[in-house]
Amino acid sequence: MTRIAPGNGTPNQPSIDGPLARAASATLEPAAAVGAGARARETERPDQPAPLGGVGNARGAADASAFLKEIKRWEGEHPNLYVDTRGYVTTGIGHLLKTADDAAKLPWLHSGTGRAATAAEVKAAFARVAQAGADFKRANPNVNGLSAKAYEKFSDLVLPEGLSAKLATDRLNGEFLKGLRKTFPAFNSYPMPAQRALVDMAYNLGVAKLEHKFPNLVAACRKNPPDFGTAAAESHRSTCRHARNDATRGLFEQAARLTASIQQFPREIRL
């Protein structure tokens, strides 16, 4: 999307700053209103999306704080070890632990005593949780998995308070946002709804998998101007709840409407 820089103009030249600013800050219909029928099939009540921002970030690139609340809403926040719906041992705000060694790098505490866990205790807990998840999936192949809380009976280890948010913030800033800005050079100028949709997909899938599995979406967002309408149609993830997919699609649709309204202003002014 081409950004129109404000200028002084001439006394008889109509300013576009006013309508652009109003469009950027306009409150659009919430993403939760999209696909209500699909969300009605959810067994759990999804949280409502946060209020939308405007077009990009007028003062510079958005950091993790602009996206963390929404990521937390979908991923949840669990200080214990658990197995996610894809069968991976996880903790915090969707923080994947690929191996027992990865888990042992974190400063785990015993929830009952507050005592620091040893590396051997962490690795043993990792193995128990992973096995519990595998056993449940084998016995219940058509069920996503146990709740995160259900895994508390397999391990008493928890993360120190505040570490879940720090891990998520570090990954957002150091991995996902950096990767998205490389994949989408105009990312910082996208309407905030589009940024939020892409960050959610990247956090859920990984940037590499987003590029590999969603080539049509990536191509649509790379256009000039971006085609967020096509991105909305191409954003469905087979591994996600209906509510999360509906919200992501709704964010892209809002970005498409906002982009179209901004492109209309110069034409209206010339009339």
Q: What is the 3-state secondary structure (H, E, C) of the chain?
A: CCCCCCCCCCCCCCCCHHHHHHHHHCCCCCHHHCCHHHHCCCCCCCCCCCCCCCECCCCCCCCHHHCHHHHHHHHCCEEEEEECCCCCEEEECCEECCCHHHHHCCCCEECCCCCECCHHHHHHHHHHHHHHHHHHHHHCCCCCCCCHHHHHHHCCEECCCCHHHHHHHHHHHHHHHHHHHHHCCCHHHCEHHHHHHHHHHHHHHCHHHHHHHCHHHHHHHHCCCCCHHHHHHCCCCCCCCHHHHHHHHHHHHHHHHHHHHHHHHHHHHHC
For residue 239, what pLDDT is reported? 85
For residue 266, what pLDDT is reported? 53
Please indicate, yes or no, if residue 7 is contained in any of the structural domains.
no
Q: Which has more pLDDT, 99 or 142?
A: 99
pLDDT average, residue stretch 151-170: 97
> Are 112 and 241 contained in the same domain?
no
> Are 138 and 84 contained in the same domain?
yes
Residues spanned by the domain of 159: 77-163
For residue 262, what pLDDT is reported? 83
> Are 57 and 142 contained in the same domain?
no
Q: What is the total count of domains within the chain? A: 2
pLDDT average, residue stretch 99-121: 98
pLDDT average, residue stretch 135-151: 93
> Are 171 and 259 contained in the same domain?
yes
| pLDDT tops 90 at residue 212 | yes
For residue 183, what pLDDT is reported? 98
